[in-house]
């Protein structure tokens, strides 16, 4: 009698364990399937525009939004140019613009002549812009006032950077002064040491060409780090914000947009305003 009870209880326990195992396995499978469905759904939602574009079903709403954003940008560019009618207008280019058809580079908005161009020549202590030579000659052939700039890397030796620029760029009569492009803060040195490096570059380059370089930077970087200590230099300032509608009186150049459309150049181009007219910009060129 006792043995029978034990066997019956054992059978019940085993049945319950089997049932529990069955449900736990089933639950696990359902959980995994549910998770995968949610994951796929989430990924699909996140990349919905890209997937739709790839499949050829991109919505009219997305296209209209992109078109509207460009329209707003174009309107802003036109308004800025209209407010500065009579000022000299120019662009700046690098290898990122690809192959430029210089003979077609003439106006912006089919109304405002492009008088000048800044061309990137060097980067840091050891890198040449691989389109510099071609762009440098192309701009000259197109009878544009041209200038060369160096992209400064704050964590590299300033004298080596100056030497690279000097050995790369040969300025001629009528060219714009050399430009130092500083946009980044250093990773492994103080702001004080950064300023020492910048001054060394500027002095070496000025001694070589016999003309004081121009400094290019963003408005915030200019106000925070350069405005007071580098007041002896002329500045080319970048600011694309809508609240900025006119060039500031103490800026030599203003880069007001990075989304200009120029004949002869594929994609977007930086557009700049000189704080004076065509005759006045010729006063600052190399003699």
Contacts of 282 (CB under 8 A, 6+ apart): 145, 174
Write out pLDDT tens, residues 117-155: 999 999 999 999 999 999 999 999 999 999 999 999 999
5 vs 189, which has greater pLDDT? 189
Confidence at residue 193, expressed as pLDDT on a 0 to 100 scale: 96
> Does pLDDT of 244 surpass 60?
yes
Model pLDDT, residue 22: 47
**Percent of the chain as helix, strand, coil, to the nearest 5:** 50, 20, 35
**In this predicted model, what pLDDT tens digit does every residue of 50-70 receive, in sequence order?**
334 334 434 455 545 555 555
Over range 160-169, report the average pLDDT. 98
8 A C-beta contact, residue 177 and residue 202:
no
Q: How far does Cα 155 stand from its chain's mean position? A: 19
Distance of alpha carbon 90 from alpha carbon 92, whole angstroms: 7
More confident residue, 197 or 30: 197
pLDDT digits (tens, 9 = 90+) for 271-281: 999 999 999 99
Do 106 and 113 touch, CB atoms closer than 8 A?
yes
Going by C-alpha positions, the residue among 222, 278, 254, 267 that lies closest to residue 99 is 267
Digit-coded pLDDT (tens) for 14-46:
555 555 554 566 667 777 777 777 766 654 554
Do the beta carbons of residue 200 and residue 182 sit within 8 Å?
Answer: no
Percent of the chain clearing pLDDT 70 (strictly above): 78
Q: Is 211 helix (H, G, I), strand (E, B) or coil?
A: coil
- Burial of residue 154, with CB atoms counted within 10 A of its CB: 0-12 exposed, 13-18 middle, 19 or more buried: buried
| pLDDT given at position 40 | 65
CA distances from 136 to 78, 114, 172, 250 (A): 28, 16, 11, 28
Mean pLDDT of the chain: 86
246 vs 187: CA distance, rounded Å = 34
d(CA 20, CA 36): 24
Bridge partners, 118 (sequence order): 92, 147
pTM: 0.77
pLDDT digits (tens, 9 = 90+) for 80-102: 999 999 999 999 999 999 999 99
How many other C-beta atoms lie within 10 A of the C-beta of residue 114? 23
80 within 8 A of 256, measured Cβ to Cβ: yes
Distances (CA, A) of 168 to 127, 146, 280: 10, 15, 28
Percentage of the chain beyond pLDDT 90 is 70
Residues labelled catalytic: 92, 183
CA–CA separation, 169 and 246 (whole Å)? 32
């Amino acid at each position: 009698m006792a043995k029978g009870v034990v066997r019956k209880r054992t059978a019940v326990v085993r049945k319950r364990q089997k049932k529990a195992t069955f449900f736990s396995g089933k639950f696990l499978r359902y959980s995994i399937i549910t998770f995968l469905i949610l994951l796929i759904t989430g990924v699909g939602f996140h990349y919905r525009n890209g997937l739709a574009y790839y499949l050829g079903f991109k919505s009219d709403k997305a296209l209209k939004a992109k078109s509207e954003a460009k329209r707003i940008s174009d309107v802003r560019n036109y308004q800025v140019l209209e407010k500065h009618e009579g000022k000299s207008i120019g662009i700046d280019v690098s290898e990122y613009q690809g192959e430029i058809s210089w003979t077609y580079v003439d106006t912006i908005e089919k109304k405002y002549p492009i008088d000048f161009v800044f061309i990137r020549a060097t980067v840091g202590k050891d890198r040449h812009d691989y389109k510099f030579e071609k762009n440098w000659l192309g701009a000259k052939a197109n009878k544009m006032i041209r200038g060369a700039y160096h992209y400064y890397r704050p964590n590299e030796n300033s004298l080596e950077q100056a030497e690279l620029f000097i050995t790369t760029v040969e300025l001629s009569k009528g060219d714009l002064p050399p430009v130092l492009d500083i946009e980044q803060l250093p990773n492994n040195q103080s702001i004080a040491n950064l300023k020492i490096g910048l001054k060394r570059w500027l002095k070496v380059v000025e001694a070589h060409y016999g003309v004081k370089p121009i400094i290019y930077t963003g408005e915030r970087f200019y106000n925070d780090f350069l405005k007071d200590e580098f007041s002896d230099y002329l500045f080319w300032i970048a600011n694309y914000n809508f609240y900025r509608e006119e060039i500031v009186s103490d800026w030599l150049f203003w880069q007001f947009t990075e989304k200009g459309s120029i004949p002869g150049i594929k994609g977007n181009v930086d557009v700049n305003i000189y704080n004076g007219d065509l005759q006045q910009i010729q006063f600052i060129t190399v003699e």
